[in-house]
Amino acid sequence: MSRILDALRPAYARAWVRIRGNMRVKTWLLWEVVLPTIFMASVIYAYHNLDAPRIFIGFVVVGTMMMNFWFNVLWGMGNVLYWEKETGNLEVYLLSNRPIYMLLLGMALGGMLNTGIRSLAILLIGILVFGAEFNAAGLLPATLVFLLTLAALYSLGLMFSSLHLVYGRKGIRINEVLGDPISFLSGQYYPISVFPTLLQAVASLLPLTIGLDGVRRALLLGEGMENLYIHLAGLGIMTLILLPLGIWILNRMVEKGRRDGRLIMRWL
Amino acid sequence: MWGIIRRMLAVVWLTFKEQSNWTSLPVYLLYIFINPVFQVALYGYIYIAVAHLSGITSPEAAFYMVSGIALFNYIGSGLYGVIWTIHSEREHFRTLKYTYLAFPDLQLYLTSRGLYHYLVGLATSLAMLGLGMLLIGYPMLGSLDTLPNIAILLLIGIAWSSQIGVVVAGLSIYSSEYGPVISESFGGLLFLLGAVLYPVSALPPWLQPLAHIFPMVEWMELMRHYLNPSYIPGDIGGLWTLLVIKTLATIVITYLYFRLVERLVRKTGMLEASLHH
């Protein structure tokens, strides 16, 4: 037990820094809630303008809430090793002789908490200001799908972070082109059932698409576990594949960086 | 005058190099088109989803949305290009102090950095417009007669939006903590209020007066009209008058404001106060 706790210490330490860092300026929280809310409001008004049924407000609120986690995976986890390198922290981590994936676990946990607070605020705004309606009975299955989605997404983030370690500035560009395409493919503002079949199949390869669909089904349509087991199984399998794969790729990239002498080289 | 144009062209070239030197030209071209293409799909599908799931169709509303998102891309690209210069040169490249020393006029420098992004925005917006209309199946019939009006509006768009960008960049100089969020929020505010996805009348009444502060609404409606002459947003002459007055006011206010900001920044030593303090 003490060995497990000892192994988790770097994760705890990094998560603490991340949480504290994000809370350093209190009003950041306000801005970070306001910004996605502005875009959410725009889409809700667009739906109003089209006389869309009320359920669409729920689609938008859930989509905005969950998309926040994707952006956190991209910029708060994937991109972070690049910035640690630029600011000179990476060499300190590497010298600490602790597995680097534990540091990333800390970043993931810290990021999840920070993003969770912001997403909760967005959910409340969606309900109180825009009148989104959710089915309380779907809360438990929605939570399960949501947690599994986070596990799969942050495992994917582990893989991204290794790309950033090697590709430097190119990694930032990769992140940039993973914004709108993923928003579209995951069905941020509508269910993907409106897509052509082939596009639905491609979109279903993303954990976020499955997670969003599952949470919407539970919270908006009131579907129970019996209808969501495919979502749960899919997300579970994705996590089981992505997590070890992410750790393996990360270790390989660190090794490669060491071999090529580029691991802590800045401005690449 | 030639000196100013030469400086501006040099900055446009610098911006191109800074934006593209991480890869080859074909990959860079692919990179600049990916997000806009998916963006028009993301918002175009809002209309398709409603039509698909509820049977409600309104080709005019679809045209409004798709043209709005394509035009916002043009304005947004340039605006963000201007605004992010402060953040990227101070935090990422740490060159803001050198720029300040080397370039005679920071306001002109910021505007010139934006110019490159307007060019990219124009190319990607054209692609978005074509793809978007294809996606929603709207038979937009363009007319060569309206091209001069569109060209003038594109230039006016640069004039007002780049200067709004300069105002926000001025705020960003003062606050490294809030610079990025102010930038993002301002773009979001224009997206919400600027007649992008819906007309101003679709906003709650208390938000509608805010929408008329900026020249964005008039610009968007006139652009739509000249892209598709069957779309009549109201009194065209009145819209032109309002657009010109608001644009001139934006330019004058920005000029005065930025002089003040520059003086204060030098006085308080905030030019290089980065987030890593």
User: Chain B residues with CB inside 8 Å of A130's CB?
Assistant: none
How confident is the model over B126-181, as pLDDT tens digits? 999 999 999 998 887 667 889 999 999 999 999 999 999 999 998 888 877 777 77
Query: What pLDDT, on the 0 to 100 scale, is given for residue A54?
Result: 92
User: Chain B residues with CB inside 8 Å of A52's CB?
Assistant: 50, 54, 56
Q: Considering CB atoms only, which of B49, B192, B202 is closest to A48?
A: B202
pLDDT of B58 higher than 60: yes
* Chain-chain contact of B34 with A46 (C-beta, under 8 angstroms): no
Q: Can you give the residue ranges of every domain in chain B?
A: 2-268
| DSSP alpha helix (H) spans, chain B | 2-20, 25-54, 59-87, 96-102, 106-136, 147-174, 179-193, 208-211, 216-227, 236-268
A9 touches chain B (CB under 8 A): no
Q: Are A172 and A163 in contact (CB under 8 A)?
A: no
Which of B192, B200, B208, B277 best tests the A interface by mutation, with the highest count of A CBs <10 A? B192
- Complex confidence, ipTM: 0.91
* Chain-chain contact of A35 with B48 (C-beta, under 8 angstroms): no
Q: Which residue of A has its CA nearest to B201?
A: A49
Q: Are B246 and B218 in contact (CB under 8 A)?
A: yes
Q: Considering CB atoms only, which of A49, A180, A183 is closest to B61?
A: A49
Give residues with Cβ within 8 angstroms of B178, minimum separation 6: A27, A31, B171, B172
Give the burial string for A52-76 (b: 16+ CB within 10 Å, else e): beebbbbbbbbbbbbbbbbbbbbbb
A56 touches chain B (CB under 8 A): yes
How confident is the model over B222-274, as pLDDT tens digits? 999 999 999 999 899 999 999 999 999 999 999 999 999 989 988 888 887 77
Confidence at B277, pLDDT banded by 50, 70, 90: very low
pLDDT of A204 higher than 60: yes
CA distance A191 to chain B (A): 8
Confidence at A93, pLDDT banded by 50, 70, 90: confident
